[in-house]
Structure 1
Amino acid sequence: MVRGNTTYAVKGIVKTLSKSRLVQKIVENYSYKTKMSFSVLQKVWFDDLQGGKGVIRKLTDIDKKNESNYHINTPITLGDGTKIVVCNQWEQENLSNFISHARLLGVDVKTEGTHLELLLT
């Protein structure tokens, strides 16, 4: 199996991010700029962008079984004090959907570099 490791940059935010950290930084920056509540933010970053896990969840809603699917060690605190976490389960297809949606919201995402590795199983 061939696995690609592409890094991304978001203009004005940060350079050289992995797929899951890219999503986290975009959501974090967007939430700080817009000061939206969780319910509104969840409509902006709707679950279908990611798939089965959803893009964001309240930290308090994550059970032990699902902790490994979210960046629970780096929660985002919203203006009302709600702590949210961003999903870390991103593959090329759902990431492409997320990036397209982020661009519609005015986020400038660039591909920085690609590294392919061969995984033998």
Structure 2
Amino acid sequence: MAREGLFNAFQHSKATRISVHLSYGVPQFSLRIADDGVGVPPQLQADGQRPGHWGLSGMRDRVTRVGGSFQLRSAPDEGTEVLVSVPAVHAYPRAGERPAFTSLQRWIRALLGRVTPKPG
């Protein structure tokens, strides 16, 4: 979900700033992705997806399937905020299992290696 949310922000938002906040809490895992871009069109928010695109609806489906919550907050030219929370029992690996977030970490490192920060 984090990868999809970041991909959407980089691909569609035309943002100058994108922030990610991860919270590994005892009761739940929380993710917040926010940008200062163009926002998600109101019709797309109402429909939940574009024809042939499954990003937002796929994220919402995966989160709700495990008892989590998904919120999308957006306004034209005011950016977008995606809030996800997942119960700890579904978010964290059990003893002896490989953590699921390692592929996300590799993807972020690869992405950041291609992005050149703007000065000031």
Do Structure 1 and Structure 2 share a fold, with TM-score over 0.5?
no
TM-score by length of 1: 0.30
Structure with higher RCO (Cα < 8 A, 6+ apart): 1
TM-score by length of 2: 0.30
